């Protein structure tokens, strides 16, 4: 799914917004909720126009927000690319903190607002800059690839960033037998398999290392034990159970899922790659192993597609972003994201190297 401007993103009358949302989400949301959300969305679009703001929305945003106020939508890579060039100030980032930080790193002169005071991520919180410095000391000269799901001070210690959409390309672009790949254990294992590498998980303080799927000194990727609290919950048994009930289901997994889950799936890719795969497939129904809102967002644009939902697994951090919080962000300049120097400049170099790769 290419990032794009939505037709509703400029609608400022509550009645028109209600009509547009009802056409998209009338089968997903009750009418009274649509009316309530349409009023807030129309107010947001008025405020946005008054302030010259632009709203970027990650694919995980809840359906009413996703389909009403976002000027551009996409996965982490698409939104990073957009953040580098987008017009509009302030940038309101509907996502989590590490994403808003990336926008700020690329736009130091603009105000970047994250409509929540928190907006965490279990992966970003799994590693610190001093962890990376210790790893670099232990593996001198080995290039460090860091998933964008990290904070700016960690990116600042990194040679190059990657997202789930380009991790394989980024690793393959490095002229090195060995790569430090942080912090997602499962993404590292999935990328290692695609690139024909092995992964080890060293203990930072001691000398020992536990080989996950390879013998000593045969490894080429040094990993970290960070996990996405959402994607680590899916299991091959979930897939088997759903396949028993719906033999014709197409299963799509995010590469933050465990490798055995990716193996048992029909497709693995970034959030936008999953959206595109569903749009291009003629399967009867789909199971998305990722944040549940995305299934609603796909159905809203492709009403003929049937989704099997595993909505007990949610990202609490992405779900902090509500229409009410976006309105308050524009009304009260909440919550400005700051990335101090020298981290910003060093992190920017790492993000820009990634963006150059394509
Ligand atoms: P994408 O880069 O695939 O959009 O994923 C971001 C994320 O946080 C997945 O949990
Ligand atoms: Fe982080 Fe996982 Fe939430 Fe994505 S889904 S923001 S990786 S906790």
Work out the average pLDDT over 57-86.
Answer: 95
Instruction: For ligand 2, pick from 146, 183, 256, 274 the residue to mutate: most ligand atoms within 8 Å of CB.
Output: 256
Atom 1, ligand 2: which residue's CA is nearest?
121
Place of tokens 């907006």: 119
pLDDT, residue 330, reads 98
**Residue after which a domain boundary falls, among 203, 227, 251:** 227
Of 55, 35, 56, 59, the residue nearest 47 (C-alpha): 55
DSSP H or E run through 85: helix 76-85
Domain assignment of residue 146, yes or no: yes
CATH number for 242 = 3.40.50.10800
Residues of the chain above pLDDT 90, percent: 85
Same domain, residue pair 104 and 138: no
Work out the average pLDDT over 93-110.
Answer: 97
DSSP H or E run through 101: helix 97-106
What pLDDT band is residue 6 in, cutting at 50, 70 and 90? low
Residue 53 to residues 27, 80, 200, 324, Cα–Cα distance (Å):
31, 17, 45, 16
pLDDT, residue 3, reads 61
Full domain range(s) for residue 268: 231-307
Instruction: For ligand 1, pick from 2, 56, 57, 60 the residue to mutate: most ligand atoms within 8 Å of CB.
Output: 60
d(CA 40, CA 324): 7
Please determine, for residue 213, whether its predicted confidence score (pLDDT) is greater than 50: no
Of 349, 340, 357, the residue nearest 101 (C-alpha): 340
Separation of first and last alpha carbons in the chain: 16
CB 59 within 8 A of CB 297: yes
Domain assignment of residue 345, yes or no: no
Which pTM was predicted? 0.94
Of 17 and 219, the structure prediction assigns the larger pLDDT to 17
Alpha helical stretches, state H, 60-212: 63-66, 76-85, 97-106, 129-138, 152-155, 167-173, 185-195
Q: Which residues are within 8 A (CB) of 340 and not within 5 positions of it... i.e. 6 or more apart?
A: none
Domain assignment of residue 1, yes or no: no
Same domain, residue pair 164 and 201: yes
Same domain, residue pair 166 and 210: yes
CB 11 within 8 A of CB 287: no
Atom of ligand 1 nearest to the CA of 228: 10
Domain assignment of residue 356, yes or no: no
Q: Which residues of 74-88 are buried (b: 16+ CB within 10 A; e: fewer)?
A: bbbbbbbbbbbebeb
Same domain, residue pair 271 and 191: no
CB 75 within 8 A of CB 163: yes
Instruction: For ligand 1, pick from 75, 93, 122 the residue to mutate: most ligand atoms within 8 Å of CB.
Output: 75
Domain assignment of residue 78, yes or no: yes
d(CA 298, CA 49): 27
Same domain, residue pair 152 and 88: no
Report the mean per-residue pLDDT for the chain.
Answer: 93
* Interval between CA 228 and ligand 1 midpoint (Å): 10
What pLDDT band is residue 49 in, cutting at 50, 70 and 90? very high
d(CA 81, CA 76): 9
DSSP H or E run through 113: strand 112-113
What pLDDT band is residue 4 in, cutting at 50, 70 and 90? low
Same domain, residue pair 117 and 151: no
Domain assignment of residue 85, yes or no: yes
Phi/psi of residue 164, nearest 5 degrees = -65, -20
Q: Quote the DSSP letter at residue 232.
A: G
Place of tokens 């290392």: 209
Whether the CB of 76 sits within 6 Å of ligand 2: no
Same domain, residue pair 64 and 94: yes
* Interval between CA 95 and ligand 2 midpoint (Å): 10
260 burial class (0-12, 13-18, 19+ CB within 10 angstroms)?
middle
Tens of pLDDT, residue by residue over 160-205, are: 999 999 999 999 999 888 999 999 999 999 999 998 888 888 865 5
d(CA 298, CA 302): 6
- Total domains in the chain come to 3
- Displacement of CA 188 from its chain's centroid (Å): 16
DSSP H or E run through 256: none
- Token digits of residue 328: 């308050």
Of 199, 214, 191, the residue nearest 262 (C-alpha): 191
Atom of ligand 2 nearest to the CA of 231: 2
Same domain, residue pair 94 and 164: no
Domain assignment of residue 342, yes or no: no
pLDDT, residue 203, reads 67
Of 351, 319, 356, 355, the residue nearest 159 (C-alpha): 351
- Token digits of residue 295: 């299934």
């Amino acid at each position: 799914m290419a990032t794009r401007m939505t037709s509703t993103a400029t609608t400022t009358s509550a009645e028109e917004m209600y009509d547009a949302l009802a056409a998209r989400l009338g089968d997903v949301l009750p009418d009274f909720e649509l009316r309530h959300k349409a009023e807030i969305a129309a107010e947001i679009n008025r405020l946005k126009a008054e302030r010259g703001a632009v709203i970027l929305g990650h694919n995980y945003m809840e359906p009413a927000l996703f389909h009403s106020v976002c000027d551009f939508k996409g996965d982490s890579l698409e939104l990073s690319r957009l953040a580098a060039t987008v017009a509009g100030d302030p940038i309101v980032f509907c996502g989590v903190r590490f994403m808003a930080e990336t926008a700020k790193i690329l736009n130091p002169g603009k105000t970047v607002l994250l409509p929540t005071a928190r907006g965490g991520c279990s992966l970003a919180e799994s590693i610190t800059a001093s962890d990376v410095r210790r790893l670099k000391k232990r593996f001198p000269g080995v290039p460090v690839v860091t998933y964008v799901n990290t904070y700016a001070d960690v990116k600042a210690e990194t040679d190059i960033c990657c997202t789930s959409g380009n991790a394989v390309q980024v690793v393959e672009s490095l002229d090195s037998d060995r790569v430090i790949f942080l912090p997602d254990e499962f993404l590292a294992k999935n990328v290692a398999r695609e690139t024909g590498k092995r992964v080890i998980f060293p203990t930072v303080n001691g000398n020992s290392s536990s080989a996950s799927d390879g013998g000593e000194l045969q490894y080429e990727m040094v990993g970290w034990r960070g996990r996405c609290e959402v994607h680590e919950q899916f299991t091959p048994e979930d897939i088997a159970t759903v396949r028993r009930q719906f033999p014709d289901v197409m299963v799509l997994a995010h590469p933050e899922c465990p490798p055995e889950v990716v193996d048992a799936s029909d497709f693995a890719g970034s959030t936008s790659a999953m959206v595109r795969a569903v749009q291009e497939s003629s399967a009867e129904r789909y199971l998305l192993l990722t944040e549940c809102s995305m299934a609603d967002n796909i159905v809203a644009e492709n009403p003929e597609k049937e989704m099997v939902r595993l909505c007990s697994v949610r990202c609490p951090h992405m779900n902090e972003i509500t229409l009410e919080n976006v309105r308050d962000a524009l009304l009260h300049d909440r919550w400005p994201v700051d990335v101090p120097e020298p981290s910003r400049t060093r992190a920017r170099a790492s993000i820009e190297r990634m963006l150059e790769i394509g």
